[in-house]
Amino acid sequence: MNNNPTILIIGGVAGGASAAARARRLNESARIIMLERGPDVSFANCGLPYHIGGEIADRERLAVQTPESLRELLAIEVETLTEATAIDRAKKEVSVRRLADGSTDTIAYDKLILAPGASPIVPPLEGIQDDKIVTLRNLQDMDRIKAAAAEVDSVLVIGAGFIGLEMAEQLKHIGKQVSVVELQEQVLPQVDPEIAAPIAAELRSNGIELVLQDGVAGFKREGNQITATLNSGQSLTAGLVILSIGVKPESGLAKDAGLELGARGHISVNPFQQTSDPDIYAVGDVCETADPILGERAAIPLGGPANRQGRTAADHIFQGDKALEYPGSLGTAIVRVFDLALGSTGHNERRLQAAGVDYGHVTINAHQHAGYFPGAQNLTLKLLWDKKDGRVLGASAVGADGVDKRLDVIATAIVGKLTIDDLCHVELSYAPPFGSAKDPVNLAAFAACNIRDGLTDVVYEFPTDEDTQLIDVRPADLAQIRPIPGAVSIPLEQIRSRLGEIDKSRPVVTVCALGKMSYFATRILKQNGFNAASVVGGLALVPAPGKDATPTPQPTTSTPAPQTMTTPTSAPTKLDCTGLACPGPIMRVKEAASKLAPGDSLEISASDGGFANDLPAFCEANQYEFLGARKEGGVIIGGLRKPEAGSALATATPTGGAINNDATLVVFSQEMDKALAALVIANGALAMGGKATLFFTFWGLNALRKHEAPPIKDKTFMDKMFGTMLPQGIHRLPLSNMNYMGMGAKMMKDRMASKDLPNLEGLLADAKKGGARLVACAMSMEAMGIRQEELIDGVEIGGVAEFLGASGKAGTNLFI
User: For 780-803, what is each residue's pLDDT tens digit?
Assistant: 888 888 888 888 888 888 876 767
625-630 contacts: CB < 8 A, separation 24 or more? 625/649, 627/565, 627/566, 627/568, 627/601, 628/563, 628/564, 628/565, 628/566, 629/560, 629/563, 629/565, 630/562, 630/563, 630/564, 630/565
Same domain, 500 and 362: no
| Residues forming the active site | 46
For residues 718 and 224, what is the distance between their CA atoms, to the nearest angstrom? 46
Nearest alpha-carbon partner for 642 in 605, 595, 606, 604: 595
The CATH number of residue 490's host domain is: 3.40.250.10
pLDDT of residue 687: 57
Residue 567 pLDDT level (bands cut at 50, 70, 90): low
Nearest alpha-carbon partner for 636 in 335, 334, 210, 205: 205
Mean pLDDT for 150-162 is 96
Helix, strand or coil, per DSSP, at residue 641: strand
pLDDT of residue 768: 83
pLDDT of residue 766: 78
592: left (phi over 0), alpha (psi -120 to 50) or beta: alpha
In contact, 468 and 544? CB cutoff 8 Å = no
pLDDT of residue 505: 94
Residue 348 is assigned to a structural domain of this protein: yes
pLDDT of residue 757: 62
pLDDT of residue 582: 52
189-192 contacts: CB < 8 A, separation 24 or more? 189/160, 189/161, 190/161, 190/162, 190/331, 190/333, 190/344, 190/348, 191/342, 191/344, 191/348, 191/396, 192/348, 192/349, 192/350, 192/382, 192/396
Helix, strand or coil, per DSSP, at residue 307: helix
In contact, 608 and 635? CB cutoff 8 Å = no
**pLDDT single digits (tens) 315-342:** 999 999 899 999 999 999 999 999 999 9
Number of domains, the chain: 6
Contacts with 59 (C-beta within 8 Å, 6 or more apart), sequence order: 51, 139
Residue 797 is assigned to a structural domain of this protein: yes
Same domain, 633 and 732: no
Same domain, 273 and 217: no
Residue 211 is assigned to a structural domain of this protein: yes
In contact, 803 and 653? CB cutoff 8 Å = no
Kindly report which listed range (132-136, 329-333, 585-589, 591-595) carries the lowest average pLDDT score: 585-589
Question: Would you call 152 exposed, middle or buried from its count of C-beta atoms within 10 A (0-12, 13-18, 19+)?
Answer: middle
For residues 710 and 214, what is the distance between their CA atoms, to the nearest angstrom? 10
Same domain, 624 and 698: no
**pLDDT single digits (tens) 663-693:** 888 998 888 888 888 888 887 777 556 788 9
Mean pLDDT for 53-60 is 92
Question: Would you call 330 exposed, middle or buried from its count of C-beta atoms within 10 A (0-12, 13-18, 19+)?
Answer: buried
Residue 547 pLDDT level (bands cut at 50, 70, 90): very low
Domain end position, chosen among 322, 356, 373 = 322
For residues 746 and 303, what is the distance between their CA atoms, to the nearest angstrom? 62
Same domain, 752 and 772: yes
Same domain, 167 and 301: no
Nearest alpha-carbon partner for 215 in 277, 125, 138: 125
Alpha helices in 566-646 (DSSP H): 584-593, 611-622
**pLDDT single digits (tens) 378-414:** 899 999 999 999 999 999 999 999 999 999 999 999 9
Residue 559 is assigned to a structural domain of this protein: no
Helix, strand or coil, per DSSP, at residue 492: helix
Same domain, 593 and 692: no
Query: Which residues constitute the domain of residue 521?
Result: 465-537
The CATH number of residue 401's host domain is: 3.50.50.60
Q: How many CB atoms lie within 10 A of CB 209?
A: 18
Same domain, 169 and 268: no
Residue 69 is assigned to a structural domain of this protein: yes
Q: Residue 657: pLDDT above 50?
A: no
**pLDDT single digits (tens) 88-104:** 999 999 999 999 999 99
Phi, psi for residue 456 in degrees, rounded to 5: -150, 145
**pLDDT single digits (tens) 235-257:** 999 999 999 999 999 999 999 99
Q: Which has the higher per-residue pLDDT, 71 or 179?
A: 179
pLDDT of residue 655: 40
pLDDT of residue 620: 83
Kindly report which listed range (379-383, 471-475, 655-659) carries the lowest average pLDDT score: 655-659
145-159, 602-616, 676-690: which has the highest mean pLDDT?
Answer: 145-159
The CATH number of residue 589's host domain is: 3.30.110.40
For residues 248 and 120, what is the distance between their CA atoms, to the nearest angstrom? 6
The CATH number of residue 792's host domain is: 3.40.1260.10
Kindly report which listed range (49-53, 230-234, 548-552) carries the lowest average pLDDT score: 548-552
In contact, 46 and 303? CB cutoff 8 Å = yes
Q: How many helices (H) and strands (E) does the chain have?
A: 23, 40
Mean pLDDT for 539-565 is 48
The one-letter amino acid at 589: V
Same domain, 675 and 770: yes
Average pLDDT, the chain: 87
For residues 548 and 552, what is the distance between their CA atoms, to the nearest angstrom? 9
**pLDDT single digits (tens) 192-212:** 999 999 999 999 989 999 999
Mean pLDDT for 502-513 is 93
Domain end position, chosen among 245, 269, 303 = 245
Same domain, 235 and 254: no
746: left (phi over 0), alpha (psi -120 to 50) or beta: alpha
In contact, 625 and 643? CB cutoff 8 Å = yes
Domain end position, chosen among 537, 562, 584 = 537
Three-state SS letters, 142-190: HHHHHHHHHCCCEEEEECCCHHHHHHHHHHHHCCCEEEEEECCCCCCCC
pLDDT of residue 419: 97
Residue 438 is assigned to a structural domain of this protein: yes
Three-state SS letters, 529-542: CCCEEEECCHHHCC
320: left (phi over 0), alpha (psi -120 to 50) or beta: left
Same domain, 113 and 254: yes
Contacts with 118 (C-beta within 8 Å, 6 or more apart), sequence order: 247, 248, 249, 250, 285, 286, 301
pLDDT of residue 555: 33
Same domain, 25 and 65: yes
Q: Residue 640: pLDDT above 90?
A: yes
Residue 145 is assigned to a structural domain of this protein: yes
For residues 479 and 487, what is the distance between their CA atoms, to the nearest angstrom? 9
Sheet-wide strand order for 333-337:
333-337, 340-346, 392-399, 378-386, 359-367
**pLDDT single digits (tens) 712-750:** 777 777 777 777 778 878 878 888 877 766 777 777 776
Residue 194 is assigned to a structural domain of this protein: yes
> Widest CA span of the chain, in angstroms?
99
Q: Which has the higher per-residue pLDDT, 729 or 656?
A: 729
Helix, strand or coil, per DSSP, at residue 442: helix
